[in-house]
Amino acid sequence: MKKLAIFLSGLAMTSAAAETDFKQDVFPILEAHCFKCHGPDKQESDLRLDSRAGMLTGGDFGPAIVPGDAAKSYLIKAITTDNVELRMPPKGKRLSPEQVATLNNWIAKGAVWPGQKEAVARNRNKTSDHWSFQSLPTEFAHDSIDGFIHAKLDKTGLRSSPEANRHALIRRVTLDLTGLPPTPEEVDAFLADKSENAWRKAVDRLLKSPAYGDRWAQHWLDVIRYADSRGYEFNSLRGDTWPYRDWVIAAFNGDLAWAEFLFQQIAGDTIGIDPATGFLVTAPLPTPPEVGREAAQIRQARFNALDEIVQNVGASMLGLTVGCARCHDHKFDPISARDYYRVVSVFSGVQFNRRLWRSKDAERKKKVAALDTKLSEIEAELRKFPGPRIVERGRYTDFFNAVDARWVRLNIDKTDAKGDGPVFDEIEIYSAGKDVNVALASLGAIASSSGVAKHLGGRDDMLNDGKFGSGSIWTADRIPPAWVQIQLPELTRIDRLTWSRDRDLAVSDSAKHAVRLTSAWRIEVAVTEGKWQPVVPRFRGSPPTEAQRQRQHELEARRDQLQQQLNAMSAPLEVFAGRFVNPEPIHLLMRGDPGRPRDRVGPGALQILKGFELTPGTASESERRAAFAKWLTKEAAHLTARVAVNRIWQHHFGAGLVDTPNDFGVMGSRPTHPELLDWLAAEFIASGWKVKSIQRRILASSTYRQSSSSRGQSEAMRADADTRLLWRFPPRRLDAETIRDSMLKISGNLDPKRGGEGVNIFTRQGSFDQWKPLADPPTGSNRRMIYLTRIRGVDDGMFKTFDLPECGQVKDKRTESTTPLQALNLLNGKFSLKQSAALAKRIEDEAGGNSSAQVTRAFEWILGRPPEDAELVLCQAAVRAEGLETVCRALFNSNEFLFLP
């Protein structure tokens, strides 16, 4: 830059004399070199240079000129820089020094453009008439889902289908809401319920079932690519990721208001809900060794991480591809690069790491305190027993027959820490009968040792300075054998020695430090220097009775047990939900390149949605996030509500009203039923952002309850094969989780345990991403799939082919493919054979040996209906030839089982 400045000032001097003529000198240069990309036909970086206003207004990266100040004008920088990526024109010949001087001089003189004297910078604020940015209407043509749907069908000459049969209905809604099929008993109960509100009761029962959260949470986790591993080369487990997954499940089950759902995921920590912000850090991310040690790559990696957060927020909550504005203003949507960096700035203090889970950790601390109290009580009681040694937490006392001593030595034979020597707070020696600590330095005693760790700041006199606790500790410079010794000022009769370690329990409370506790020791005394005599231990009082001994043993056992519990609970409880640190300053980055910062940008939100921008450096890290989170459901409410109800709709009908649920921008699909979407969004907000209230409306509609058959609807099939107009209920293949969990439930093998750390069915071979399914599935591997550890990109050999997401990119909907590999897995996989066999056995227990009863039961379990006569005949023949297992296996592979009816 310095070079450039000198160069420029030189130019200014040489050409100052010449008067610049705009028309003759300046315009031709601009016309020849700039207008092709920054003119009427093309506006690269949203910049036009064919008018003074255009120059003043500038593009994605600010104004092109500052009249009167050539050095500050971006135009001059661009045509003079040596940086190949920055320089203009990007290709071909550079401007000659004379041409540069001409432009330089022109700007220096005020950039006069004849006829455009009054031109000023235009407001670059974005406006849009795109539908999703418009506020919600308050009046609607209809007041029910069916009203909107039927109106559109009428318009296109199509008609809706009759209500589905009750077998199909209960199967559909149960799979839809819980991801599991109804049991035969649940089907029977629904069929038997002839009351008018039978349907509503069934819906209410299912919405209340915890299985509902297990199902609907996964839809959300899909969007933000939640997984338990890091991805990339190492792909190791992050650990403590599951509390976020459980939080999402609980949020759905508890019908947490959507506004709150969003707020907590962005700033839950501000109201004491720590796991919720796991949302911010779900993306895969390379670890530092994978980034390398080059500064530029490290910076780039940090901005990539921040970009992942912006993508999560933008796609899942706003339905916008905010990330597209990272390198330049969004090509299609009214989102500027500045908008992008405002959002980056909101999250610039977020690190992909764990932090304390405060509510749980407070519980832990309470439990620890309670255990501590119990332990103290036991120890107090233990102290009352006669014995030669008292062991208290942090304090150890040996009693011995009174003996005269001038030197007292504590020999350490062993510690509990391998490879580390002992540590002491203090050594106390008591005079017989008088109970005075004669070891104190203040009384003239002198401490020495086999060696103190001087590099840690230790000194021998810390052994007898009368100070306990971590501020004054003596640490050995060696592993045992070691010794410490006190030289008393005069020959003294003594009968007791106490040594202590971590007496104030500062260290043992935290698992991070080894306690380095002495576990075997001996005491010696000397009257003459060097002539050591062992001391003779004695009981305090009389020797214990048998009853006392027994009680003592009991107490000791209890003490050890409590101590073990305490040890197990010593680590603070953490959650992988982002670590929040001081935000780094954020600048607008030229072409997204961290090496090319421009203006500093404050935290804020999208301008098109009345977004704010705070002055850089004024708001704390958490204030930024909280402000953004509030904005989401206040100023941006009309968009977030639309995006939310569309997702709900999507998972009931297989496709959203907007078929691009992560993109409500110009490039996204238009809603098939725009008014219905708006109406639902308005109702959603009015209901207090209650998901279940919208779901109740959807499920109550005749649109949801109509048949999925295409029989007699050939006209509709021709006109709308995708069923986007909902002339029938659109059938669709079950997803991987539903297929697997259903098979487990039907076979009786589903493990009902919910929540907590995931069960890992994979094992890692070698040190890198080499996960393979375990040959013998571990305990818990038959829990619902959401409770299995999700590792990015792995192949379980069974369900990956059923479009399980790879959890790399944010994803609004699963692909739905049909491949021969699916067929091979489902037909031949160990899992299928196992469940088929288990179900056959279950049915034999439930239905006895009659093949007709067996087949009927198999149909009821797998398809939720009894077989038709022809089916019965077919299947009975198969049972006779190859056994019931074969029928179960065929039914598990059938289209009817695999499709939502």
Partner 1 sequence: MQQNRRSFLGNLTTSAGGIALTQLLARDGLLAAEGKSPIRPKIDPSRPYASRVSHHPAQADQVLIIFCAGAVSHLDTWDFKPELYKQHGRTPPNAPKVTFEGPIGKMAQPFWDFKPRGQSGKMISDLVPNLAKLADDMCFIHSLTAKNSAHTQAENFLSTGFTFEGYPSLGAWTTYALGTMNEDLPAFVAIADPRGRSQAGPNNWGNGFLPAAFQGTAFSADEPPKNLHASARDSANRATVDLLAELNERHRMEFPGDSELAARISSYELAGRMQTSIPDLMDLSGERRGTLEEYGATSPNQIKAAYARNCLMARRLLEKGVRVVQLFNGAHASGGKKNWDSHSEIFQNHGTHAEIFDQPAAALLRDLKQRGQLDRTLVVWCTEFGRLPFMQANGTGRDHNIDGFTCWLMGGGVKQGFSYGSTDELGWHATENKVTHYDFNATILHLLGLDHERLTYYFNGNERRLTDVHGHVIKDLLA
Span 280-309, contacts to partner 1 by CB under 8 A: 284, 286, 290-294, 297, 300, 304
Contact with partner 1 (CB under 8 A) among 15, 160, 498, 672: 672
Q: Do residues 287 and 232 touch, judged by C-beta distance below 8 A?
A: yes
Q: Computed from CA positions of residues 298, 303, 305, 308, in that sequence, does the dihedral angle turn out positive or negative? A: negative
695 vs 801, beta carbon nearer partner 1 = 801
Distance CA 893, CA 867 (A): 16
| Residue span 867-896 as binding mask against partner 1, x where in contact by CB under 8 A, dash where not | -x-xx--xx--x--xxx-xxx-xxx-xxxx
Residue list 674-713, contact with partner 1 (CB under 8 A): 708-711
678 vs 803, beta carbon nearer partner 1 = 803
Distance CA 328, CA 84 (A): 18
346 vs 887, beta carbon nearer partner 1 = 887
- Scored b (16 or more CB within 10 A) or e, 627-636 reads bbbbbbbebb
Least separation in angstroms between CB 790 and partner 1: 14
Nearest to 729, CA basis, from 155, 174, 178, 160 = 160
Residue list 94-153, contact with partner 1 (CB under 8 A): none
Phi/psi at 384 (5° precision):
-75, -20
Question: With binding defined as CB under 8 A, does residue 224 bind partner 1?
Answer: no
Half-sphere exposure of 730 (CA within 13 A, CB side): 19
Question: With binding defined as CB under 8 A, does residue 808 bind partner 1?
Answer: yes
558 SS3 class: helix
Question: With binding defined as CB under 8 A, does residue 795 bind partner 1?
Answer: yes
Q: Residues with Cβ < 8 Å from 447, sequence gap 6 or more?
A: 427, 439, 441, 460, 461, 462, 463, 464, 484, 485, 486, 487
Contact with partner 1 (CB under 8 A) among 171, 225, 697, 842: 225
Question: With binding defined as CB under 8 A, does residue 833 bind partner 1?
Answer: yes
**Segment interacting with partner 1, rule: CB under 8 A, options 59-67, 484-492, 622-630, 801-809:** 801-809
The residue type found at 439 is: A
Least separation in angstroms between CB 815 and partner 1: 4
Length of the chain: 901
For 657, the token pair is 């009203």
Cis, peptide link before residue 289, omega less than 30° from 0: no
Contact with partner 1 (CB under 8 A) among 67, 213, 231, 602: 231
Distance CA 750, CA 735 (A): 17
Q: Do residues 637 and 606 touch, judged by C-beta distance below 8 A?
A: no
272 vs 820, beta carbon nearer partner 1 = 820
Question: With binding defined as CB under 8 A, does residue 163 bind partner 1?
Answer: no
Least separation in angstroms between CB 874 and partner 1: 6
Distance CA 737, CA 785 (A): 6
For 301, the token pair is 């990696």
Question: With binding defined as CB under 8 A, does residue 793 bind partner 1?
Answer: yes
Question: With binding defined as CB under 8 A, does residue 769 bind partner 1?
Answer: yes
Contact with partner 1 (CB under 8 A) among 124, 364, 724, 841: 724
Distance CA 578, CA 265 (A): 11
356 SS3 class: strand
Contact with partner 1 (CB under 8 A) among 714, 776, 779, 845: 714
DSSP structure class, residue 24: I
Residue list 583-642, contact with partner 1 (CB under 8 A): none
**Segment interacting with partner 1, rule: CB under 8 A, options 352-360, 389-397, 424-432, 657-665:** 657-665
225 vs 625, beta carbon nearer partner 1 = 225
DSSP 3-state percent helix, strand, coil across the chain (nearest 5):
45, 15, 40
466 SS3 class: coil
Residue list 812-831, contact with partner 1 (CB under 8 A): 812, 815-825, 827-830
Distance CA 901, CA 73 (A): 65
Residue list 728-757, contact with partner 1 (CB under 8 A): 730-733
Task: Name residue 900's beta-bridge partners.
Answer: 732
613 vs 806, beta carbon nearer partner 1 = 806
Least separation in angstroms between CB 374 and partner 1: 50
Least separation in angstroms between CB 172 and partner 1: 14
Size of the site for partner 1 (CB under 8 A): 111
DSSP structure class, residue 357: -
Question: With binding defined as CB under 8 A, does residue 900 bind partner 1?
Answer: no
213 vs 654, beta carbon nearer partner 1 = 654
Question: With binding defined as CB under 8 A, does residue 241 bind partner 1?
Answer: no
394 vs 867, beta carbon nearer partner 1 = 867
Least separation in angstroms between CB 863 and partner 1: 9
Distance CA 740, CA 265 (A): 29
Nearest to 641, CA basis, from 683, 702, 606 = 683
**Segment interacting with partner 1, rule: CB under 8 A, options 87-95, 600-608, 748-756, 764-772:** 764-772
Question: With binding defined as CB under 8 A, does residue 165 bind partner 1?
Answer: no
Question: With binding defined as CB under 8 A, does residue 528 bind partner 1?
Answer: no
Distance CA 110, CA 104 (A): 10
84 vs 547, beta carbon nearer partner 1 = 84
Question: With binding defined as CB under 8 A, does residue 494 bind partner 1?
Answer: no
Pairing of strands 574-575, 355-356: antiparallel
Burial class (CB in 10 A: 0-12, 13-18, 19+), 93: exposed
Contact with partner 1 (CB under 8 A) among 798, 838, 840, 900: 798
Contact with partner 1 (CB under 8 A) among 801, 835, 851, 856: 801
